[in-house]
């Protein structure tokens, strides 16, 4: 619960073609921890405490949201997976998006789990991260990076909002492929 100054709420419907797509922190840790608890994958022992804490005691980005006020055009928390929640922004804003797969923050996940397909699934479809997914004009990049530094919280620019509906993955070689807008299934 909380309060927002009149006219300052950041909603899901403000994304516009040309906006950058950003995500905070490290999505996917909670999903990998859950998979490890279910015996579906293994986590390196040195990463287990951090990943289990992400699952059992997630830290909402309460300071980041207000810090981004006035800079971002659309925002929501990643509770149903990055792709699933991005789908909410795209639907409400009536836009599409290309995700730059080489910009996804996969290094920490890959260091904890050697199963590359599982890591990508955790990043894109894993739930309960409570990171923030947001869009902003490219003109705001420097200010957003300054907020990242002041909060000691990584913010990753992972894509671009487009006028053409749909969700696409942009590979390092420049090729694109369609992505399904599928998030975490709480009942699976």
Q: Kindly provide the b/e burial profile for residues 6-30, where b requires at least 16 CB atoms within 10 angstroms of the residue's own CB.
A: eeeebebebbeeebbbbbbbbbbbb
Q: What is the pTM for the complete model shown?
A: 0.92
d(CA 174, CA 4): 41
Which helix H or strand E contains 112, and what residues bound it?
helix 107-112
Name the token pair of 86: 């991005």
Sign of the Cα torsion 114, 118, 122, 126 reads negative
pLDDT tens, residue order, the chain (188 aa): 678 888 888 999 999 999 999 999 999 999 999 999 999 999 999 999 999 999 999 988 999 999 999 999 999 999 889 999 999 999 999 999 999 999 999 999 999 999 999 999 999 999 888 999 999 999 999 999 999 999 999 999 999 999 999 999 988 888 888 887 665 555 45
80 secondary structure, DSSP code: S
């Amino acid at each position: 619960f909380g309060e927002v100054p009149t006219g300052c709420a950041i909603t899901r419907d403000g994304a516009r073609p040309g906006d950058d797509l950003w995500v905070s922190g490290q999505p996917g840790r909670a999903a990998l921890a859950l998979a490890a608890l279910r015996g579906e994958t293994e986590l390196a022992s040195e990463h287990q405490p951090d990943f289990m804490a992400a699952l059992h005691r997630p830290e909402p980005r309460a300071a980041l949201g207000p810090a981004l006020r006035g800079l971002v055009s659309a925002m929501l928390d990643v509770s149903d997976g990055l792709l699933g929640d991005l789908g909410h922004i795209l639907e409400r804003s009536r836009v599409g998006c290309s995700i730059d797969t080489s910009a996804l923050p996969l290094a920490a996940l890959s260091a904890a789990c050697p199963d590359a397909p599982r890591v990508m699934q955790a990043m894109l479809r894993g739930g309960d991260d409570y990171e923030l997914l947001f869009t902003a004009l490219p003109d705001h990049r420097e200010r957003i990076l300054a907020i990242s530094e002041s909060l000691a919280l990584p913010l990753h620019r992972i894509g671009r909002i487009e006028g053409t509906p749909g969700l696409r993955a942009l590979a390092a070689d420049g090729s694109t492929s369609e992505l399904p807008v599928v998030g975490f299934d709480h009942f699976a």
